[in-house]
Structure 1
Amino acid sequence: MSVSDQDLEQAGLRLGKLLDSQRRTIATAESCTGGWVAKVLTDRPGSSAYVMAGLVTYSNGAKQSLLGVKTETLDTHGAVSEPVVREMVTGAVNAAGVDVAVAISGVAGPGGGSEEKPVGTVWFAWGSGGASTEAAVRHFQGDRDQVRRQSVLFVLEAVTEYLERTSSVS
C-alpha cells in the first residue's frame, strides 16, 4: 500500500480536530517511526493545545529511562512486542500527563528482521494506560519508508477511532 504525504496530512488533521474538539491531550512514544506521528500532528497550527510531548525512544535504554519500560519485559519479549508498547503508552501518559498516548515499535528494515519478527512487523498501542490501552500488530510490505508511512497512517486512524468510541466515556 502506498501512503502519500497527503494521506498522512489528512489523517493528522482529522485526529487533531478530534483531539481539539474533545479537549483531550496526546503524547507519542515512537521507535521505528522516529517522531513522524508527532510531526504529522504538529503540522496543524494550534496543535500545541493538544500535543503535549513526542518522545523518540529508539533504543531499549531510552524506552527504560524515559518511559519506564521494564528490563524484564524487554528481555522476555523484545522491543517489538505487545507488552513493550503497552508499557510505552503507560510511561508516556505518566511522563507527559496526557489523556491519551500512542506507542510504536517495529522493524522498518531493510535489516533487523528475524523469522519470528520479519521486516515490516510493527506493534502499536494507544490509550490512557492500564486496562484502557489497546494494542495491535501489523505486517507491512515495502521498503523502510513505506513501512514507516503505513505505520504512521495506521496509528493515526486507530487513535481517531479509539477517541470516537470513547468520547462519551471521558
Structure 2
Amino acid sequence: MTLPDPRVEALVAGLSASGQTVATAESLTGGLIGATLTEVPGASAVYLGGVIVYQTALKARLGGVPDAILERDGPVAGSTAEALAVGVRDSTGATWGLSVTGVAGPTSQAGQPPGTVWIGLAGPSGVISRHLQLDGDRSQVRAATVDAALSWLAGQALGKDWSCS
C-alpha cells in the first residue's frame, strides 16, 4: 500500500475545512482520480463518489452527456467533459463535479491522437473545461491526467496551486 500524496492530503483537508465536496466522472483514467482521493484517510467527508464512463454510450446514459453533444463533438471534447462534470455534480449534489475524457493510447480514438485529454469542472460559478496534449505512454498519460485534474480542482476550489501551501 502506498502512502497518500501530501498534495492530495492537503486538497482533501482544504475541501473539508471549507465544507466543499467533489464527485467524479472518469473515462480514460478508469477510476484513478477516485482511487487517489480515497487513499487519504477521511476522504469520505469530501469525496461523494463517481462514475466510470469508459464507453461512449455510458457517457450519455450514466454521465448525463446529451446525445447531441456526442454526435456533434464526439466523446473526446471540451463540451463532453463539461457535460460530464455537470452531470456528476447534479446527480450527486456535490459542490464540484470533476470529469476527464481523452485518449490514453497507444492508438488514436475518435480521430484524436494519444495524449489528448479534456478535463471538465463544474462548480458554484459555472462550468469550464481545459484541454491538454500529454506525452508519454498509456500509464504516463493517465497519471498526468490525474495530477492535472486534481491540481486544477485545488486551484479552483481552494484558490491554491497544486502544492496547496
1:117 aligns with 2:112: yes
TM-score (norm 1): 0.87
1:139 to 114, 133, 136: 133
Higher helix share: 1
1:69 to 49, 65, 76: 65
Q: Contact between 2:107 and 2:113, CA under 8 Å: does it hold in 1?
A: no
CA shift, 1:112, in A, is: 2.8
CA RMSD of aligned residues (A): 1.9
1:31 aligns with 2:27: yes
2:50 to 33, 54, 73: 54
TM-score (norm 2): 0.89
Number of residue pairs matched? 159
CA shift, 1:128, in A, is: 2.1
1:78 to 71, 74, 81: 74
In 2, Cα distance between equivalents of 1:164 and 1:45: 19
| Greater displacement, 32-41 / 104-113 | 104-113
1:128 aligns with 2:123: yes
Query: What is the one-letter code of the residue matched to 1:142?
Result: G
Unaligned runs of 5+ in 1: none
**Aligned ranges for residues 8-19 of structure 1 at < 5 Å?**
9-19=5-15
Q: Contact between 2:100 and 2:119, CA under 8 Å: does it hold in 1?
A: yes
Q: Contact between 2:76 and 2:101, CA under 8 Å: does it hold in 1?
A: yes
Q: Contact between 1:11 and 1:156, CA under 8 Å: does it hold in 2?
A: no
Unaligned runs of 5+ in 2: 161-165
Structure 1 segments of 4 or more deviating over 3 A? none
CA shift, 1:113, in A, is: 4.0
Q: Contact between 1:11 and 1:153, CA under 8 Å: does it hold in 2?
A: no
**Structure 2 counterpart SS, 1:24:** coil
CA shift, 1:165, in A, is: 3.2
Query: What is the one-letter code of the residue matched to 1:122?
Result: V
CA deviation vs aligned residue, 1:102-153 (integer Å, no higher than 9, x gap): 0000000011347x52100000011227x61121100000100000000000
